[in-house]
Amino acid sequence: MRSLVLGGARSGKSAHAEGLVPEDAPVTYVATARRDPSDAEWNERIAAHVARRPAAWRTVEAPDPASPRRVLAEAGDGDHVLVDDLATWLTGVLDDAGAWERDRAALAVVAEHCDALVTAVSEGSGHVVLVSAEVGLGVVPETRSGRLFRDELGSLNARLAAVCDEVLLLVAGCPLRIR
């Protein structure tokens, strides 16, 4: 079973996704947020996510763009993997590739990482829950980097939705089943 949980900021997508995974099952939580020691507010957000997780869950901090797909590839049939979230993962991929100015070579690197993630999700044998932001419902961003992020994340979300068994959209804390 592969689930994609989408939602806007503070929509409840992470908490809902966590509720899709049985507490007593072997769960690997892939945390994609990169810590920044100088950003206290960001670290408080990360701490709130950590505090909400059951103690038995194994957490893999994934600052490396390949980390989520490695965890997915290693998951066995009875394992559960929760990846939270793909927007922060993609931000790191764009940063690492230096793709914010739309350099073709850098965008090719981003595409390779996205292709590999979609393949890992589609070929994985474990139970997968993916969390991602839905950023395509708002206005067109004013900045080139904002438009790049919106376009890249929208494309990644669509590709992942195509290989997932269920797709949910959280709006104001309410889950809507898309598929």
d(CA 90, CA 160): 13
Residues known to be catalytic? 49
The SS3 assignment for 177 reads: strand
Burial per residue of 96-127, b for 16 or more beta-carbon CB atoms within 10 angstroms, e otherwise: ebebbeeeeebbebbbebbebbbebbeebebb
Is the distance from CB of 68 to CB of 117 less than 8 angstroms? yes
Over the stretch 88-132, which tens digit does the pLDDT of each residue have?
999 999 999 999 999 999 999 999 999 999 999 999 888 999 999
Q: Which of 96, 127, 129, 135 is nearest to 114 (CA)?
A: 96
Q: Which of 33, 117, 109 is nearest to 73 (CA)?
A: 117
- pLDDT at 45 > cutoff 90: no
Task: Provide the pLDDT confidence category of residue 152 given band limits of 50, 70 and 90.
Answer: very high
- pLDDT at 62 > cutoff 80: no
Helices (H), 11-97: 13-19, 40-52, 67-74, 86-97
CA distances from 6 to 17, 82, 170 (A): 9, 13, 6
Q: Give me the pLDDT at residue 25, please.
A: 84
Average pLDDT over residues 69-97: 93
Backbone angles phi, psi at 51, to 5 degrees: -65, -30
Q: Rounded to an integer, what is the distance from CA 123 to the centroid of its chain?
A: 17
pTM score: 0.92
Residue 56 buriedness (CB in 10 A; 0-12 / 13-18 / 19+): exposed
